Amino acid sequence: MCSSSVLPIDSGRYGSPEVKKIFTEESKLKYMLMVESAIAKAQASSKLIPSNAAKEISLKSTLEYVSYGTWKKIEQSTKHETASLVEALVSVVSEDAKPWVHYGLTSNDILDTALSLQLKEYVLIIQAKIKNLILLLGKYAEKYSSVPSVGRTHGQHASIISFGQKFAVWANDFLDHLNRLQEIKPRVLACKTLGVVGSGSVMGRAALDVMKETASSLGLYPVRSATQIVSRENYAEFVWWCALVASTCDKVSTEFRNLSRTEISEVEEEFLKNQIGSSAVPSKRNPIKNEKVTSLARLVRAMPLVALENIPLWHERDLTNSANERFIISISAILLDEMISTLCDILSSLLVKEDFIKINMERTRGLIYSEFVLDVLLKKGVSRSEAHKILREVASKVHQNGTYFKEELLKDTKVARLITENELNDIFTPKKYLDGSKEIVERTLERIKKEVGK
């Protein structure tokens, strides 16, 4: 661990090594050189530059010839990262190739397209991690699909839900996020090689062909139009996607934190043998992994505001987006990676306490069945308003007297003449009400199998 680090990301606290490596300065240089190489080859195909020059430029556009140290040393005097790369590349190619390095291009042809290559690699990693998360959620959905539990609204007991349905809902949310990611790829993974103001002026009629070929060779999508830069709506959309996925992660962790409260105690985050929950209270077991997810989500949700501010730049571009994008794009991506990995870690060892789920079902002394008693009364011809009123009155007695709902129903003359004790016993059978939940889980599992596999 580097003691001189400023950001927790740099110290190794957050983000996986494979994701953080994508956004290092050395990786950025590697991708910028890849772009220079691909453009030179495409320009040679369109006979804009000599083929021998293109081969030379492509050969030398690697970290072997243009090192990170050389690039940064030149930048100390030029104060321009792309111009420094061009200077470094020019210094290593043959004399015949020197005039054709960076031909007809502008800085953001290289910078934006290199960023797309970074995001392309990131997308492959984060897609795989989200798929793993979905598979884990699917396992819990299947395992607990037949377990009746309390469904809560406004923090209050409302009705009965399969405990597995909670996980099915989240699995569908993340499946939707994967679909959203597929939809935004053509805009986020953009290739732009159209020069100073986006008109392709130096390359003329060949400009669009060069961009199309470059995009194809790099596995990117050619922009339909651009100024000097790719429209910042594209990157705002990516940052927004990160924030959206982060919010779903937060939703899951918030539910786990609530369910792990002492008064509920339906789930418990793994607590290791030598782990300390509190320096003051030895018995504490705090849901710190879930709390970390919520905390990071708050930061990631703040990033889209900055990304949206970057959209209205002056004329064909200015630099007011440049400095902050060095933070918001990489940080959004790295922190989301941390959140997804943390959720997978939580789910790999989450303790579900079925005994407490059952205890909580009875906590309201049977009031959780009021929806189903109402349904029976309606089917026996009682109007909704009258049936609702009767059950509200009975429920009030339960609250006031600390009695059980079934007892009060049997004592109520209006209910007793319509519903027998045997019928009430049948109503107060929780597994009767899981058919819808189980169907939702089954359809979710089918969707997972279709869209994720396994």
Q: Is the pLDDT of residue 454 over 80?
A: no
What are the C-alpha distances in Å from 80 to residues 30, 72, 85, 99, 229? 17, 10, 9, 19, 16
| pLDDT 10s digits, 258-283 | 999 999 999 998 766 666 566 566 65
Q: Which of 42, 59, 35 is nearest to 120 (CA)?
A: 35
Q: Is the pTM of this model over 0.75?
A: yes
Q: Are 122 and 20 in contact (CB under 8 A)?
A: no
* Predicted local distance difference test score (pLDDT) of residue 20: 96
Q: Sorting pLDDT into bands at 50, 70 and 90, what band is 5?
A: confident
What residue spans in the chain does CATH classification 1.10.275.10 cover? 12-100
Q: Report, at the CATH architecture level, how domain 107-360 is classified.
A: Up-down Bundle (1.20)
Where do you find CATH 1.10.40.30 in the chain?
367-427
Mean pLDDT score across all residues of the chain? 94
pLDDT tens-digit series, residues 119-137: 999 999 999 999 999 999 9
pLDDT single digits (tens) 379-414: 999 999 999 999 999 999 999 999 999 999 999 999
Q: Please list the active-site residues.
A: 154, 278
pLDDT at 244 over 50: yes
- Assign a CATH topology to domain 367-427: Ribonucleotide Reductase Protein R1; domain 1 (1.10.40)
pLDDT at 333 over 60: yes
- Between vectors from CA 354 to CA 348 and to CA 357, what angle results, nearest 5°? 115
pLDDT at 386: 95
Per residue in 273-316, pLDDT tens? 666 566 566 656 788 999 999 999 999 999 999 999 999 999 99
Contact 29, 71 (CB under 8 A): yes
Q: Where in the chain is the domain with CATH 1.20.200.10?
A: 107-360
Q: Which of 348, 353, 298, 334 is nearest to 144 (CA)?
A: 353
For 12-100, which CATH superfamily applies?
Fumarase/aspartase (N-terminal domain) (1.10.275.10)
pLDDT value at position 1? 46
pLDDT over threshold 70, residue 326: yes
Q: What is the mean pLDDT of residues 159-183?
A: 97
State mean pLDDT over 81-110.
96
d(CA 99, CA 220): 27
